Structure formats: structure tokens, C-alpha cells
Amino acid sequence: MADEPLLRVEDLQKSFGGVTAVDGVSMEVYPGEVHAVIGPNGAGKTTLISLLAGELRPDRGRILFGARDIARRPAHARAKLGFARSFQITSVVPGMRVLDNVMLAVLARDARSFGFWRPARNDPALIRPAVAALERVGLAEVAEERAGAVSHGEHRQLEIAMTLAAEPELLLLDEPMAGMSAEESRRMTGILEDLKGEKTMLLVEHDMDVVFALADRISVLVGGRIAASGAPEAVRADEAVRRAYLGDEAA
Amino acid sequence: MSRTVGWLLLAALAAAPPLALAAGQPFYVDILTRLVCLAAAATSLNLILGHGGMISFGHAAYIGIGAYAVGIPAYYEIYDGWLHLLLAVACSALFALATGAVALRTRGVYFIMITMAFAQMVFFAVVSIEEYGGDDGLVIDIRSEFPLVDLEDSLTLYYACFAVLLGTLYLVHRLVRSRFGMVIEGARGNERRMAALGFAFYRHRLAAYTLAGALCGLSGAMLGNFTNFISPEMMDWTRSGELIFMVVLGGTGALFGPLMGAAVFLLLEELLSGWTIYWQLPFGLLLILVVLFARGGLAGLLEGRRG
Ligand SMILES: Nc1ncnc2c1ncn2[C@@H]1O[C@H](COP(=O)(O)OP(=O)(O)OP(=O)(O)O)[C@@H](O)[C@H]1O
Ligand SMILES: [Mg+2]
């Protein structure tokens, strides 16, 4: 693994009223690695992603990206730094075409979003990368459909296409396979395998086969705390983890 | 289909006034001038309301600001038309920028209320200035003066207003199709996703809000010239409601929607107010029907969409 972490999280905490969803989490993500976060329902995985993406502000703790503490920067500023997140529950612009959604992701990266005059929808500088991202996830055929009208599996693929089109340095993927059919899930695993090595990923996922196939490192989140962290084999062997989370599934 | 009807409507508006004069019905030129000005105002509102999802309930303030930007200089016997228009656009833009900066930090019903409150502030400010007629308003004795065009001629005035409508339509058309337009449309559809993508869309919204205000100020200046009279009543909150009505009736997403909405609005107003003093009642019913059964408004119906 590379020497310096791309992302270092220190003692991160977030409570909602009485519930401490993330409770003193510290972890590192190294450049180029796939770092999986697993844990039971309600463990705080989505909250962790939202804290990293900047949608939520932590009550305490630091998020170091390179040397900078970005824990208090807003979501859009972090996206500009190279963060891209996908949502566990699909979040797209339903009234626009599938292609438009991805073009927006390209536009966000492109930084010239204050063009007032030239038509955007036939601008090759936006269309070409958008179509490439759609092809990569296998969505090119529905590019012209309204994003609100495509199937659940296609929504999930669109989520990934949008995160890819942003050309991020760090992908924060929140259960990309959630609610997918076995077939779609296989395809998505293939896409992520493709990206492995090319992009740094923090991957939240429930499907253990996917996790063990992709992850270079696994952190187990239970009740908002990191219960174990390490190489997949070590985590698989960890007694505490087996009891707390993996159960019989890993045996 | 709605595009076709829009173009036909524009063609009719281009041709009708000389015919009305030839037929000895100058009254119709007046109605059409008012229609054209209000359609331009509604089109500017559609930029933020329809495309940006910003439901401003204070858009008539810009009609007022634009009209007073003609009336107040005229009161001091300054009739230079370019100066009037510059004042109308600049004052509207400034007011939109300042109030939008605050209002756009709120959402939903709070945004509606705060835009209305800002507009009412202008309303009461104007009411309280006795110098400019207060409640009673002010007569504009001479219209804005331009080289070569004479707005005292009703047909010339009409075509000047028509030009403002065309310019507004073209500008909004360009804006909503641009990168900027994509951003405000995306932010209307899903703020959370747009922030995650990296858009600080508050700034785009503020720019749209300011542009819409400036454009509406221009139509206000034309309306002030047409009526020869300015009063706080022009920016009453019910006026803002009428503009929203036109946009919703015509269809929020469509370029020509507000024009169609304004046309039907004025038509119904003319017909119904001749019949009954309760002419606003059928309007309310119509709006309820549109909202329940034709979300895309008239333009949506023409497209065979029901929204
Ligand atoms: N906005 C919120 N307001 C209040 N409580 C919240 C909020 N978001 C999350 N929580 C609570 O925080 C805890 C962690 O939730 P979170 O969604 O992060 O879990 P998760 O690990 O992503 O679960 P899942 O596997 O079901 O997606 C839960 O108890 C949840 O009820
Ligand atoms: Mg979750």
C-alpha cells in the first residue's frame, strides 16, 4: 500500500438527538485502494459517508484530505476537491434525461457552469464524457429517457455513471448494489472491478461476496464504532467480527 | 405543438394592431399593448418559477420599479428614454440581487412569504412618498423619448412593447438551454444531488433571480409608458399573484406558456368583467382545474401531456 493516506479520518462523531450514529471513528483510505465498510443495519455507514461527503457536519473530529482538514467544508466544495458520492437511495434529477443527469456531473467538474448563452445540450464537451460514462455502466440505450422513468437497476447504474463522470479522486459508494437483481449486481461488480486500481474507493456494501472480491481492506462498523479493520482475510478470521456481524455467513 | 401555437400567437400579435386601427377599433390596440407587456413580465417570471422552481410571490414589484423608473424622472421633466430603461433595469436588478440574496437562503413556503414581504416593502415605501403621489399615483405627462421612435404614437408604442416581449422570450430561451440553465433546472429537481456533484447553485439561482427581476423591470417601464400613469397598485401582491396565475395557466416548463397564459387571462378578464363583478371567482376555479388536471398548463395540454 502507498505510504501517505489519501483520506484520514480522526475521531469522527455525529449524533442525531440521542442516537450517536458515528461514534469516534478513525480510519484511513490509501490511494488506489478499495476500502470496504461493512456493518449491520443502522451501524452508521450512511452517516459516515454523508460526513465524508460534506452533507452532514460532524459534532467532533477531523477529516484530513491530503494535509487539509475539510470536516467543515460544504458538500459542493468537497466535490470540487475530487470527492464523488453515490446514494444508497437513488438520488437523481427525475425530470431531466438520463444523459442530462450525467452531463450535469461533467459540467460540475468542468467548472464553467456560468455559461449563459451557448446551448448546453448539444455541446460535445459535455456529451462525449457523459456518453462514455453511460457506456461504461451499460446505460447508453436509455440515455434519452427521463431519469425518473427508468427501472430501479438502471437508476443504480445511473448513480455510478454520475459519480464516474465527475472524474473523482475518491469515490464514496453507498451500497451500489442495493435492491439490484442478481444479474444487475454481477454486472455492477464487474464495473467496480474494472475501476479497481484506477480509482480510490470507499465502498459500503452488504453483499459479502462482493466485498471480499473487491476490497483491499475492510473496516467493520458496529454501533457507530470501528469494531475491526484490516486485510479481508484478517477481518474474516476475527472472532469478534464473526460474532458481531458476519455470523454463520462467513463460516 | 405548443411551439406552433406560440409562433401563431406571435404572428397574430405582430399583425393585429394595424388591422384593429384600420377597422376603427383603437381600443384593441390598448388591450394588446397591455397583453404584450404582461406576457413579457410573466415570461421573465417563468425563468425563475418554471425553470428554477423559485416561486416568487413578489414579481410585480419589478413592474412597479420599472414603471416608477419612467414616472419619477418624468416628474422632474427628464424624458430621456434610454435613461429610463437603464434606471428600470438597474434598479430592478439591484433590488432583485439584494432581496434574492436573503430570500434564496429559504425554501418552500418561506421563500414565497419572504419574496412577498420584500415586494410589500416597496409597495408601502411608494405609498408613503407623498411627493410622487403616494396612494394616488402619478400621471406621466410625456412618454419616454427616444431618437426616431415616438412612443406617443400608439402603434409605435405597441411595437416597442412587442419588441421587449420578443427580446425577453429570446433571452429566456437562450438562458434555459445554456449550461447555466441546466444548473438551475437541476437544482430545482434535486438540490441534494446537485450539491454532491459540486454545484454551489445558490449563486446560479441568485443570478437567475436577478436577471428575471431586471427583465421584468423592462416590461414595467413599458407598461408605465403605456398607462401614462403609475401607482403603487401596479405592484400590489395580487398583481404578483396574477403573474403566477398566467405562468401556471400557460404552463411552467414551456417557453410560450406564459404568453398563452397572459392571453387567456386578459381575454377572460375582458369577457367576465363585462358580465359580473365577481369575475375573479371563475379564475379561481380555472386555476384549481389546471393544477388538478393539467399540471403542464395550456402548453402541456397542447403537447398531450397532463403532467
Ligand atoms: N437524519 C437522521 N436523523 C435521525 N437519526 C438518524 C438520521 N440518519 C441516521 N439516523 C440514525 O443513525 C443510525 C445510523 O444510521 P445509518 O443510516 O448511518 O446506518 P447504516 O449503517 O447506513 O444502515 P443501513 O445498512 O440500513 O443503510 C440509525 O440508528 C439511524 O436511525
Ligand atoms: Mg445506509
Domains of chain B: 2-302 (1.10.3470)
A220/A185 same-domain check? yes
Q: What is the mean pLDDT of residues B8-13?
A: 96
A110/A132 same-domain check? yes
Q: Which tens digits make up the pLDDT trace of B66-82?
A: 999 999 999 999 999 99
- For position A246, what pLDDT does the model report? 57
Minimal C-alpha gap between B196 and chain A (Å)? 6
A38/A147 same-domain check? no
Q: Are B87 and B76 in contact (CB under 8 A)?
A: no
Which residues of chain B does A74 touch, with a Cβ-Cβ cutoff of 8 Å?
A: 195, 200
Q: How far is the CA of A243 from the centre of ligand 1 (A)?
A: 22
Q: Which tens digits make up the pLDDT trace of B203-233?
A: 999 999 999 999 999 999 999 999 999 999 9
Greatest C-alpha distance within chain A? 62
DSSP output for B155-183: HHHHHHHHHHHHHHHHHHHHHHHBHHHHH
Burial class (CB in 10 A: 0-12, 13-18, 19+), A247: exposed
> pLDDT category, B171, cuts 50, 70, 90?
very high
Q: How far is CA B268 from CA B9, B271, B285, B299, in A?
A: 16, 5, 13, 17
The model carries a pTM of 0.92
ipTM of the complex: 0.90
Which of A50, A113, A123 would you mutate first to test chain B, the one with the most B CBs within 10 A?
Answer: A113
A177/A69 same-domain check? yes
Eight-class DSSP state of B252: S
- Chain A's closest residue to B51, CA to CA, is A95
| Structural domain includes residue A55 | yes
Q: How far is the CA of A20 from the centre of ligand 2 (A)?
A: 15
CB-based contact, B170 to chain A, within 8 Å: no
| pLDDT of A209 over the 80 cut | yes
Q: Are B300 and B307 in contact (CB under 8 A)?
A: yes
Asked if A74 and B195 come within 8 Å (Cβ–Cβ), the reply is yes
CB-based contact, B194 to chain A, within 8 Å: yes
Out of A126, A141, A167, a domain closes at A167
Q: Choose between A166 and A246: higher pLDDT.
A: A166
**Paired residues of B87 in beta bridges:** none
Which amino acids bring their CB within 6 angstroms of ligand 1?
A: A 16, 19, 21, 39, 41-47, 88
Which residues of chain A does B177 touch, with a Cβ-Cβ cutoff of 8 Å?
A: 119-121
| Structural domain includes residue A108 | yes
Q: Which tens digits make up the pLDDT trace of B263-301?
A: 999 998 888 887 777 777 888 888 888 888 888 888 888
Which residues of chain A does B183 touch, with a Cβ-Cβ cutoff of 8 Å?
A: 104, 107, 113
Q: Which tens digits make up the pLDDT trace of A102-143?
A: 999 999 987 677 888 889 999 999 999 999 999 999 899 999
Eight-class DSSP state of B200: -
β-strands A34-38, A60-65: how paired?
Answer: unpaired
| pLDDT of A147 over the 80 cut | yes
Give the residue from A86, A54, A74 showing the smallest Cα distance to B201. A74
Q: What is the mean pLDDT of residues A206-228?
A: 91
| Structural domain includes residue A243 | yes
Distance, CA of B73 to CA of B16 (rounded, Å): 32
Give the residue from B8, B119, B95, B109 showing the smallest Cα distance to B54. B109
Q: Which of residues 201-240 of B touch A (CB under 8 A)?
A: 201, 204, 207
CATH number of the CATH domain containing A27: 3.40.50.300
> pLDDT category, B305, cuts 50, 70, 90?
low
Give the residue from B35, B10, B66, B3 showing the smallest Cα distance to B212. B66
Which residues of chain A does B186 touch, with a Cβ-Cβ cutoff of 8 Å?
A: 93, 96, 100, 104
Domain total for chain A? 2
Q: Are A221 and A227 in contact (CB under 8 A)?
A: yes
CB-based contact, B109 to chain A, within 8 Å: no
- Chain A's closest residue to B211, CA to CA, is A116
| Structural domain includes residue A88 | no
What range does the domain containing A134 cover? 93-167
Name the percent of chain B lying above pLDDT 70: 99
Q: How far is the CA of A206 from the centre of ligand 2 (A)?
A: 10
A247/A174 same-domain check? yes
Q: Who contacts B243 (Cβ-Cβ below 8 Å, separation ≥6)?
A: B38, B41, B42, B45, B59, B60
CB-based contact, B178 to chain A, within 8 Å: yes
> pLDDT category, A250, cuts 50, 70, 90?
very low
Q: Who contacts A157 (Cβ-Cβ below 8 Å, separation ≥6)?
A: A137, A138, A139, A184, A188
Q: Are B106 and B114 in contact (CB under 8 A)?
A: yes
List the residue whose alpha carbon is closest to atom 18 of ligand 1.
A44
Out of A167, A185, A216, a domain closes at A167
Residue B31: strand, helix, or coil = helix
Residues whose Cβ atom is located within 5 A of ion ligand 2: A 45-46, 88
How many Cβ atoms sit within 10 Å of the Cβ of residue A84? Answer: 27
Q: How far is CA B42 from CA B46, B47, B61, B101, B159, in A?
A: 6, 9, 13, 22, 18
Give the residue from A177, A218, A228 showing the smallest Cα distance to A33. A218
Q: State the average pLDDT for chain B.
A: 93
Q: What share of chain B is helix, strand, coil (3-state, %, to 5)?
A: 80, 5, 20
- For position A248, what pLDDT does the model report? 47
Distance, CA of B56 to CA of B60 (rounded, Å): 10
A194/A250 same-domain check? yes
Out of A103, A137, A167, a domain closes at A167
A62/A175 same-domain check? yes
Q: Among all ligands shown, which has an atom nearest to the Cα of A43?
A: 1
- For position B116, what pLDDT does the model report? 96
Q: What is the mean pLDDT of residues A241-249?
A: 62
Q: What is the mean pLDDT of residues A153-182?
A: 92
- Please give the distance of CA A156 from its chain centroid, rounded to a whole number: 12
Angle CA B56–B58–B62, to nearest 5: 115
- For position A111, what pLDDT does the model report? 67
| Structural domain includes residue A138 | yes
Which of A83, A88, A93 would you mutate first to test chain B, the one with the most B CBs within 10 A?
Answer: A93
**Paired residues of B128 in beta bridges:** none
A174/A78 same-domain check? yes
- For position B187, what pLDDT does the model report? 97
| Structural domain includes residue A147 | yes
Most confident of A122-131, A234-243, B86-95: B86-95
- For position A193, what pLDDT does the model report? 92
- For position A73, what pLDDT does the model report? 94
A229/A247 same-domain check? yes
Encode burial over A89-128: b for 16+ CB neighbours within 10 A, e otherwise: ebbbbebbbbbbbbbbbbbbbbeebebeeeebbebeebbe
A235/A111 same-domain check? no
A178/A151 same-domain check? no
Number of continuous H segments (helices) and E segments (strands) in chain A = 9, 10
| Structural domain includes residue A223 | yes
| pLDDT of B174 over the 60 cut | yes
| pLDDT of A101 over the 70 cut | yes
Lowest mean pLDDT segment, chosen from A153-167, A181-195, B267-281: B267-281
Q: What is the mean pLDDT of residues A68-83?
A: 93
| Structural domain includes residue A107 | yes
Which residues of chain B does A166 touch, with a Cβ-Cβ cutoff of 8 Å?
A: 197-198
Q: What is the mean pLDDT of residues B121-148?
A: 92
Q: Are B280 and B234 in contact (CB under 8 A)?
A: no
- Please give the distance of CA B252 from its chain centroid, rounded to a whole number: 13
Give one word for B205, left, alpha or beta, with left for phi > 0 and alpha for psi -120 to 50.
Answer: alpha
Q: What share of chain A is helix, strand, coil (3-state, %, to 5)?
A: 40, 25, 35
> pLDDT category, A251, cuts 50, 70, 90?
very low
> pLDDT category, A245, cuts 50, 70, 90?
low
| pLDDT of B306 over the 60 cut | no
Radius of gyration of chain B (CA): 19
Q: How far is the CA of A135 from the centre of ligand 2 (A)?
A: 27
A3/A75 same-domain check? yes
Q: What is the mean pLDDT of residues A172-176?
A: 94
Residue type, B259: L
SS in 3 state form for B262-298? HHHHHHHHHHHHHHCCCCHHHHHHHHHHHHHHCCCHH
